[in-house]
Amino acid sequence: MLCGAVASGGLAARWQTVLALLLAAFVADPLWGALWTLIAETDWLLVLDGRRLPARGERVPALPYTAPGSPGRRFASWLGRVRVWIREEFAPCLGGHATSLVVMLPLLAVLSTMLGRQAVTLSLAALGVALWALLVRSPGAPPSRWLRAVMEMGLPWLLGHGILATFTARSALAGVGYTIAYGASLGLPLAVNRRTLFLLNGGQVATLALLVLWRRPVAATIGGLLLLAQMAAQAHLGDSTARVRWYLRWTQPLLLVEMLVVAVAVK
């Protein structure tokens, strides 16, 4: 989010800018993060579609003079079964998540409105990405890491830019490049292979190549040196979880500095 704000060129030493950045950070991290956790990483479909209503429900008062077997009586019977399902199935599994969404979504709407139209649009996009990840997710499998990368890298970059200035193609392309690299890094704990490393390095190489086209040779050189240091560490990257964690922990600061250098160059 901060890199997007830097890339916008709209940073200024004013209290309005500082307040906007603080609100944007709160939206991009805890609120969008909660949105992803509560929707994309929760088995909503398993509970809602994978279980039938109980055969018998609790007694629900029907309308006066409702005859047995009539639509009104059948509706009361169905409502009793729904109440039992909510109490015994839905509430233990998803009741807390539903309550959290009821509290979080209005807060997200209010803060996004305070930040402006771009923030509202991006929050709606974040909601759409989380719902998409839920719908395409296989039962028992984690959500798509590429949609997670969009949620945690691409959209925050655009949010930081959008609250301070109009979107630009250069900033958006830089955000896309690092979204690809971040999505590939999320796949390293699952498998260390040529395709993952190609996307991890390729997203950064493509972004640095754009700096050369935009006549930013100093920033491209600094970013290239930071990328070479990451690639040198890949020679010691193995399939073990410990090695992957070591690599991510060691190269994360390099990647963050590289992103900041690119953001300064494209503003």
Which residue from 215, 214, 208 is spatially nearest to 262, judged by alpha carbons?
A: 208
pLDDT tens, 27-80?
999 999 999 999 988 876 665 554 565 556 556 555 555 656 566 666 666 566
- Contact call for residues 151 and 32 (beta carbons, < 8 A): yes
CA dist 199 and 184 (Å) reads 6
Residues of the chain with pLDDT under 50: 50
Q: HEC states along 169-218? A: HHHHHHHHHHHHHHHHHHHCCCCCCHHHHHHHHHHHHHHHHHHHHCCCHH
**Mean pLDDT (the chain, rounded):** 86
Backbone phi, then psi, for 188, in 5-degree steps? -60, -40
Closest CA to 172 of 154, 190, 189, 186: 154
Residue 68 to residue 32: CA distance in whole angstroms: 49
**Confidence (pTM):** 0.83
